[in-house]
Amino acid sequence: MKTVISIVKTYLGHAGAYFMFTMLVFGLISYSVKSPTVNLPLIWSALLFGGLVALWDFLFEFPLIRSYTVNIFLHGILTIASFAIAFVWATDLIERGRTAVFGVMFFSVLYIILAVIRCVYHFATTRKENAEKAYESLYTPKDVD
């Protein structure tokens, strides 16, 4: 039961963080362009987007996929698809094709930039942790006298 509660807490925390960040970005955009962009459909779309991306965050917990780079790649594809579903397909942007394509492309470039930064940080910290560990041979027996 504790693990279920922990998973739900993690999911809700991630979904809330993504929702907050998405609303912050759209709020700043609407404030800077003096546009009434923030409305109820946008809030529901941001909530859908946050929920989907929080679901994709669990990819990093699966032991089947051991490669961090593959996880980031899959997470990126699913996140970009979630953006397209939440903000293009579920809203009226689908009627304006050029705007929708530009939005998805802009989000893709932004995600790629953030993913590269995240990968560099991950591999730098992993290398530092591995350098501090003592070398342990996998091929020599340990209990040999």
Residue 116 has a pLDDT of 92
User: What stretches of 34-95 show up as alpha helix (H) in DSSP?
Assistant: 40-56, 68-84
Task: Tell me: pLDDT of 56 over 90.
Answer: no
Highest mean pLDDT among 38-52, 70-84, 129-143: 70-84
Q: Which has the closest alpha carbon to 78: 58, 101, 106?
A: 58
pLDDT band at 11 (very low <50, low <70, confident <90, very high): confident
Task: Tell me: pLDDT of 84 over 70.
Answer: yes
Residue 79 has a pLDDT of 92
CA distance 55 to 11: 7
Task: Tell me: pLDDT of 14 over 80.
Answer: no
Stretch 122-142: mean pLDDT: 75
CB 83 within 8 A of CB 104: yes
Task: Tell me: pLDDT of 115 over 80.
Answer: yes
Please give the torsion angle defined by the CA atoms of residues 71, 73, 75 and 81, in that order, rounded to the nearest 10 degrees.
Answer: -160
CA distance 71 to 65: 7
- Which residue would you say has higher pLDDT here, 27 or 45? 45
Residue 33 has a pLDDT of 65
Task: Tell me: pLDDT of 45 over 90.
Answer: no
User: What stretches of 1-145 show up as alpha helix (H) in DSSP?
Assistant: 2-33, 40-56, 68-84, 97-132
